[in-house]
Amino acid sequence: MRKEEIISQLPYSKPFLFVDEIIHIDENGVEGNYTFDENLDFYKGHFKDFPVTPGVILTEVMAQIGLVCLGIFLLNNTFSKSTSIALTSNDIEFLKPVFPNEKVIVISEKIYFRFGKLKCKVIMKNEKGEVVCTGVIAGMIISK
């Protein structure tokens, strides 16, 4: 499956699509990136006069790239509009802030994929290569 096909199958659209590019993907993991546009709505109210990306959004970026993109790849053409990947758990440690117009790189390593559940170790880095946040995210394949 091509990287562009995976992105087109994501069940999100702007302004809630947080995947710009998949750099690498295979059965063991995925690497992708996203750049935070300064005009995103949440920046208007998340810390007046000093906008910072909310942790819940950083978690969502990690989940979309590190879990959902990988899940679509692993399902190898069996993912459809009647299939979804639902977040079941996450344990994220936030280490550095992410500001408007910053590009982040998400690197995910599969821990396991069995019985419809995917669990991954996920790291987010900024363009300087500094770890922004790290943790474990799990999700489950749901048929609608």
DSSP string for 53-67: --HHHHHHHHHIIII
Measured from the Cβ of residue 78, the count of other Cβ atoms closer than 10 Å reads 9
- Assigned superfamily of 3-143: Hotdog Thioesterase (3.10.129.10)
- The domain locations on the chain are 3-143
H helix intervals, the chain: 3-9, 55-63, 70-75
Q: What is the pLDDT of residue 82?
A: 67
* Active site residues per annotation: 46
CA 121 from centroid of its chain's CA atoms:
12
For residue range 91-110, list pLDDT tens digits in order: 999 999 999 999 999 999 99
pLDDT at 86: 84
